[in-house]
Amino acid sequence: MSQHNTLRGPSLETAAGHQKRSKLLLVDDHPLLRLGVRTLLSKDSKLQVVAECEDARSTLAYLRTESLDAIILDITLQGGSDGLELIKSVMSEHPKMHILVLSAHDENLYAMRALAAGALGYLMKGIAPETLRAAVHNILAGQVVVSKHLEKSLVQCAIGGGTRPAAASPLSDRELEILLRIGRGQSSCEIASFLGIALKTVETHRANMRRKLFLKTGAELLRYAVAWSHAEEHTNSGKPRNYAQASLP
């Protein structure tokens, strides 16, 4: 069930300087992770987490009733919600929103997609606490934040010396979402129903994926999808790589 929690906390004004805190929304399907991030950011006198959501529907519903300064969200959310699509929806309705993605998903594949969708930053969940605080302040200032690892890769690509892209990088965001669902055992009918699109549209996406990935048959696509989904779940459940520094001043 979609839900959000509105949190009670310190006044938005400090006792000394009467300075308003920036209001933040946490969007993640793991309560323990939300607690950790909220506890960390509550130590900053300029930041306040005012609510938490676990899926796309509750996030959009909350944003339609409350004003915020920034959102910190994950790529995979409760009920199979897709964080990339959520970013696009948020930016469509709130084009000035500041969004930071905090995820365990491979930044080499997802970071540029998130930035293209409208996010200002993408960091892995293994970052140091002080890096997260600094990143939030930077996106609030309109600055782009990525890890040193990704920043180096982007520079290398810009000058023509980049490394080989991830195997699924030719896929669109929607195709990537469908690929992951195929790998999790969902049929085309189930995918169409969940995403609210026509069955024919799903089949068209499948055909396009086979073409882009140089796969000849549906069976080859299924095997590829299962392997890809397994790798993603392993990355998301295991200990993420620790990029302790981000592109911060």
Domain 173-237: which CATH number of 3.40.50.300, 2.40.290.10, 1.10.1040.10, 1.10.10.10: 1.10.10.10
Structure tokens at 190: 């189930």
Alpha carbon distance 2, 86 (integer Å)? 14
Structure tokens at 148: 């040193």
Q: Which secondary structure element, helix H or strand E, spans residue 146, and what is its range?
A: strand 145-146
Tally the C-alpha atoms within 13 A of residue 88's C-alpha that lie toward its C-beta.
9
Q: Digits of tens for pLDDT over the chain (249 positions)?
A: 456 665 544 444 444 455 688 999 999 999 999 999 999 999 999 999 999 999 999 999 999 999 999 999 998 888 777 888 899 999 999 999 999 999 988 787 788 788 878 898 999 988 899 999 999 999 999 888 888 777 766 555 544 544 444 556 788 888 888 988 888 888 899 999 988 899 999 999 999 988 888 888 888 888 778 777 766 665 554 433 333 334 343
Integer Rg of the chain from CA: 19
CATH assignment, 4-157 = 3.40.50.2300
Domain boundaries, the chain: 4-157, 173-237
Q: pTM of the full predicted structure?
A: 0.65
